[in-house]
């Protein structure tokens, strides 16, 4: 039952009975309904100021008149207070309808077909070749993964793209370093770690010998020109990197539908350049080719350097066109740090100037930067925290806690994996995505408070209650037993779940789901401590077990949608 719409319909009926026809719809009424900050003021409140002008009466008089005309079975009462019409839902009816809907829909509770027939392309993670996966990639990876799952939940055809950073002079530098100081067997054995050592050494020695940079540029030019030796080493570096990255993606439960990176668009940029030139958008500036964006409050978009080399935006223009032609997306999301805000504003403006009306379907999903212990991360300077090491330590920490608190738990290693990785992911997605994150071991692996392990434990607690109950919930539930404030708080959160998910999709904000999971877990734990579930009265017991089952279901789904697993035992 959609209580908001039901209340809106009751208001419409009352308006018709008291005042006759008024130019307002139930949708307008529903949109104006508010949720009071305190349930003592009602479950919904309608500000009658909205009706003052069309009815030519004071809000206080309107509220008083309408309150006397509302008599719905699902309402315990409606009262007028200072121009507001406050509605109190019958507690038993409320609990019955919300819990019944959640249990009936199961894993599809909160879903709809709003995305049916639509395609969203999500560009996320976008790791760099010849560099290990570090925690600086965690936010883009997990925000993108959550948005991928959320869109699929609402019926979208989602296409996950890992836009690999596999182009640029740094790869020439890598080859130069490899040719000077590396050998095949050492790199094959050491993998990405050995490549990073070579990269760091190159940058350190280049400070004393700038000629090394020329050597690096020479090798990159050979990659661009298709030199067999350069391409062989370059492609080998890519395969080693992806093998290492896949191991981390498997740990996180993340997948992609495409690994088309920057190099994929090397032969797709010229048509874009030709199109820009044909449309009179390209201008020469000190030998470079630019699109002048001064009148739009932005610096010029540099399309070609003076030496003819392409840049990020050149490849991104080609990528945007390719994705539209290939997937015909309705929405294209770029999950990239906020430092690239200007880049994407320029990108979208150039697409608009080229006459592509689908530029408005492109969105930069910005997020804050990640530091560690107060220090920024830099592979070049050798200051980095590798994600697999962070996840491994989290798993070990979880294993130690489980050993201490639940030594007889079955599958301790599996639960430790779920809890440890879940703790890191949950921590990353807990705050609004635009906020910077400073990782410390203590905070990331904290298993108390508003954390992933706390929500997971609440889910496991609900599972435990239901296991112990067996078929004890077979009796007819007495939903009036859920009229107390603690039970009602849980019901209210469960009812809000669909709206939370819709807002998370519309705002590209997974943290809304993460915070909801904490709120629901806290409400359920208060209910659990204040109300014994396995009471003698069969109707009360059945109602409380159904509330427990609905909570378990919603918590599990919320965790899944942010990329966290839900153990049944902890």
- Give catalytic residues, as residue numbers: 131, 134, 137
Burial of 248 per CB tally in 10 Å (0-12, 13-18, 19+): buried
Q: Is 562 left (phi over 0), alpha (psi -120 to 50) or beta?
A: alpha
Burial of 243 per CB tally in 10 Å (0-12, 13-18, 19+): exposed
Distance in angstroms (rounded) separating the CA atoms of residues 191 and 318: 31
99-114: b (≥16 Cβ within 10 Å) or e: bebbeeeeeebbbeee
Distance in angstroms (rounded) separating the CA atoms of residues 436 and 439: 10
Give the chain's radius of gyration (CA, Å): 29
For the beta carbon of residue 188, count every other beta carbon within 10 angstroms.
11
Pick from 9, 48, 315, 296: nearest CA to 168: 315
The set of residues, in sequence order, having a beta carbon less than 8 Å from that of 252 and lying 6+ positions away, is: 141, 142, 145, 391, 421, 425, 563
Tokens for 145? Answer: 């993964």
For the beta carbon of residue 539, count every other beta carbon within 10 angstroms.
15
341-362: b (≥16 Cβ within 10 Å) or e: eebbbbbbbbbebbebebbebb
Question: How many residues are present in the chain?
Answer: 570
Tell me the DSSP string of 293-346. -GGGTS--EEEE-TTS-B-HHHHHHHHHHHHHHHH--SEEEEEEEGGGHHHHHH
Helix (H) or strand (E) holding 358: none
- CA distances (Å), origin 122, targets 153, 187, 256, 507: 15, 33, 9, 14
Instruction: Report how far apart the first and last C-alpha atoms of the chain are (Å, whole number).
Output: 35
Distance in angstroms (rounded) separating the CA atoms of residues 534 and 189: 58
Specify whether the CB–CB gap between 67 and 7 falls below 8 A. no
Burial of 66 per CB tally in 10 Å (0-12, 13-18, 19+): buried
Distance in angstroms (rounded) separating the CA atoms of residues 437 and 249: 21
Tokens for 377? Answer: 């991360």
Pick from 256, 257, 260, 253: nearest CA to 238: 260
Distance in angstroms (rounded) separating the CA atoms of residues 252 and 525: 28
């Amino acid at each position: 039952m959609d209580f908001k719409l039901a209340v809106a319909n009751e208001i419409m009926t009352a308006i018709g009975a008291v005042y006759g026809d008024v130019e307002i719809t139930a949708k307008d009424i529903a949109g104006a309904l508010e949720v009071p900050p305190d349930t003592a003021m009602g479950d919904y409140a309608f500000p009658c100021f909205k009706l003052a002008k069309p009815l030519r009466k004071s809000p206080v008089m309107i509220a008083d008149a309408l309150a006397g005309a509302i008599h719905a079975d699902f309402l315990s009462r409606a009262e007028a207070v200072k121009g507001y019409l406050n509605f109190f839902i019958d507690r038993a009816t409320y609990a019955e309808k919300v819990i019944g809907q959640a249990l009936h829909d199961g894993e599809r509770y909160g879903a709809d077909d709003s995305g049916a027939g639509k395609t969203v392309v999500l560009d996320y993670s976008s790791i760099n070749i010849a560099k290990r996966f570090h925690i600086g990639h965690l936010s883009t990876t997990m925000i993108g993964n959550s948005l991928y799952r959320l869109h699929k939940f609402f019926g979208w055809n989602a296409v996950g793209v890992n836009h690999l950073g596999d182009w640029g002079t740094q790869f020439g530098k890598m080859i130069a370093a490899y040719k000077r100081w590396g050998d095949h067997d050492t790199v094959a054995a050491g993998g990405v770690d050995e490549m990073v050592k070579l990269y760091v050494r190159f940058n350190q020695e280049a400070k004393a010998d700038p000629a090394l940079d020329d050597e690096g540029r020479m090798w990159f030019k050979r990659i661009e020109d298709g030199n067999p030796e350069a391409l062989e080493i370059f492609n080998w570096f890519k395969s080693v990197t992806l093998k290492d990255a896949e191991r981390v993606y498997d740990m996180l439960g993340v997948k992609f539908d495409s690994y088309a990176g920057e190099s994929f668009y090397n032969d797709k940029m010229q048509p874009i350049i030709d199109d820009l030139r044909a449309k009179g958008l390209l201008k020469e500036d000190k030998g470079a080719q630019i699109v002048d964006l001064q009148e739009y409050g932005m610096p010029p978009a540099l399309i070609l350097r003076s030496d003819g080399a392409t840049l990020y935006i050149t490849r991104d223009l080609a990528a945007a066109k390719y994705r539209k032609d290939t997937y015909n997306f309705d929405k294209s999301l770029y999950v990239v740090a906020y430092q690239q805000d200007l880049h994407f504003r320029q990108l979208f403006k150039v697409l608009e100037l080229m006459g592509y009306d689908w530029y408005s379907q492109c969105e930069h999903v910005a997020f804050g930067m990640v530091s560690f212990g107060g220090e920024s991360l830099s592979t070049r300077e050798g200051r980095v925290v590798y994600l697999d090491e962070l996840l491994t330590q989290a798993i070990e920490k979880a294993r130690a806690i489980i050993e201490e608190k639940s030594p007889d738990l079955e599958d301790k290693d599996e639960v430790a994996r779920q809890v440890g990785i879940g703790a890191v992911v949950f921590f990353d997605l807990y705050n609004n995505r635009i906020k910077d994150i400073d990782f410390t071991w203590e905070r990331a692996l904290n298993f108390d408070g508003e954390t992933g392990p706390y929500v997971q434990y609440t889910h496991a607690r609900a599972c435990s209650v239901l296991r112990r109950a067996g078929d004890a919930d077979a009796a007819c539930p007495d939903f009036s037993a859920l009229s107390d404030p603690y039970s009602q708080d849980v019901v209210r959160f469960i009812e809000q779940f669909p709206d939370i998910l819709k807002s998370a999709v519309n705002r590209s904000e997974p943290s809304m789901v993460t915070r909801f999971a904490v709120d629901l877990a806290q409400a359920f734990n208060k209910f659990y401590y204040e109300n014994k579930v396995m009471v003698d009265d069969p109707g009360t017991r059945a109602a409380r077990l159904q509330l427990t089952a609905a909570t378990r279901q919603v918590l599990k789904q919320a965790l899944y949608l942010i990329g966290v697993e839900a153990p049944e035992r902890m």
